Amino acid sequence: MDFSIKAYDTKNPILSAKTGCVAVAVYENKKLSAAAAALDQSGDISAAIKSGDITGKAGTSLLLRGVGGVSAARVLLVGMGAFDAVTDKAFTTAVHATLKCFGQLGASDAIIAFPLTEVKGRDLAWAIHTIVIGAHEAQFRTDGQKSKKDPERTGVKKLLLAVDAVDAKAKLALAQAQAIARGMDLTKELGNLSANVCTPTYLANTAKKLGKEYKFDVEVLDRKQLEALKMNSFLSVTNGSDEPPKFIVLKHMGGKKNDAPVVLVGKGITFDTGGISLKAGAGMDEMKYDMCGAASVLGTFRAIGEMGLDLNVVGIIAACENMPSGRATKPGDIVTSMAGLTIEVLNTDAEGRLVLCDALAYAERFNPAAVVDIATLTGACIVALGHHNSGLFARDDAASNGLVQQLLDAGKQAGDTAWRLPIGEAYNDQLKSNFADLGNIGTPGGASCTAAAFLENFTRSYAWAHLDIAGTAWKSGGAKGATGRPVPLLSTFLINRA
């Protein structure tokens, strides 16, 4: 969909806008928004509301044709909830209802003339982001691997957003929203691809394509180089697979030459059988999504590349498969990580932390300002937080606490929220092993916290935070598919730092 913004005022009234459809807001108390009132010269809109054809409840809608005095072919009335108390949920619900209707129209262009600056606790940028990302979500296709594609969608292809003034702030908000939305699209496309296509090599090639398009430096390390780096923890996960591992490093050096970079580290298990600690068969197909941390790093790089963000950012992706075979790592095996710590592999299905710990050790060479790792790490995080919030973990010191607050604020700003959960010595005690420095799983209880505590052992030279996205990266059931999260959170976090 093509997006643009335009200001409407007394010199350029919305009444004279020539378009296939203009969407305006109405409220539960039968009150009209300013744009709806401006279109109601004939009284047709007021009459429709008085008749009870639309209640104003958030997400309700009514399509009118041939409204007197209005140049637009159609007027879409959309409920926005209570007047003077428009919540972000009500606004988002109204946007989704509008976009659904636009997708079914015979019109190719439309205008959204909602009150973009009247949402409680939100600003113009948030409203624009909500509309643009919602439109991308509505148009996103999942039929890439079907032999017969779904019918081409009709409906609105050009969407204009009516704003109070077309200033630098509005233009920037629209550009950033489109970049983030396209980054989310890439993350979803990668997540939804079958694991026989989206292999570690495929992820590496995707990174190289992004590098060419956006002038990133991209380096891909193969097994021999990983062996030379003594990444034996990472390599222990890939031992059972015929697919070669790939360790992918992207660099967006948009800041000053000597500025310390922010490093994003993504878990890239392109398929996770559990290894010798084999998972149950039911639902195992969804383990193609175990690379969504890696996909979110690539999606975020696509966004910051398009924005040309004035910040130094490094992306690290540890990509491999976790498969059972005669070569596979066995429960009870002990491996030595890049950092020199020995790890007793008590459960080969706790593999994400085994690849991430070496990636986090590798991140130290960049003298980072901050490191954030992103991983579909634990089912326990879904138990704790459901599918609403990503789990956020960090040690309790000034640098990491400041990083945590930046991430939490960015999540709220982007509508891609996270919730902080604890780590500390009590959880580290659960990881003690009789035979190695650490076990890769803890004693029962607090599995998300012990997983994060495991990672913390490899991050003590820099500010670090861990995002467990197991509950937010994809949906199951009839709506099965990758969500694109946490690209909005990460992109907003980086925008704010820049």
What three-state secondary structure class fits 350? Answer: coil
Measured between alpha carbons, how far is 247 from 226 in angstroms, rounded to an integer?
8
Measured between alpha carbons, how far is 302 from 315 in angstroms, rounded to an integer?
11
Contact assessment for residue 18 and residue 152, using Cβ atoms and an 8 Å cutoff: no
Looking at the DSSP bridge assignments, the partners of residue 390 are 418
Structure tokens at 366: 């960049």
Tokens 């197991």 map to which residue? 470
The amino acid occupying position 435 is F
Contact assessment for residue 354 and residue 234, using Cβ atoms and an 8 Å cutoff: yes
Measured between alpha carbons, how far is 285 from 193 in angstroms, rounded to an integer?
11
DSSP character string of 71-93? -SSEEEEEE--STT-B-HHHHHH
Burial 355-373 (b: 16+ CB within 10 A, else e): bbbbbbbbbbebebbbbbb
Tokens 């392109």 map to which residue? 270
The amino acid occupying position 82 is A
Structure tokens at 106: 């015979």
Q: Which of 419, 409, 422, 421 is nearest to 388 (CA)?
A: 419
Burial 151-181 (b: 16+ CB within 10 A, else e): eeeebbeebbbbbeeeeeebeebbbbbbbbb
Residues designated as active site: 279, 353
> In terms of DSSP H, where are the helices of 3-118?
34-39, 44-50, 88-102
Distance, C-alpha 241 to centroid of its chain? 29
DSSP character string of 429-446? HTT--SSSSEESS-SSS-
Return all residues near 487 (Cβ < 8 A) that are at least 6 apart.
180, 183, 184, 187, 296, 299, 300, 303, 416
Tokens 């495991």 map to which residue? 454
Edge-to-edge strand list for the sheet holding 342-344: 334-336, 342-344, 438-439
Return all residues near 429 (Cβ < 8 A) that are at least 6 apart.
none
**Cis? peptide before 261, omega within 30° of 0:** no
Phi, psi (rounded to 5 degrees) for 74? -140, 150
Q: Which of 351, 345, 339 is nearest to 436 (CA)?
A: 345
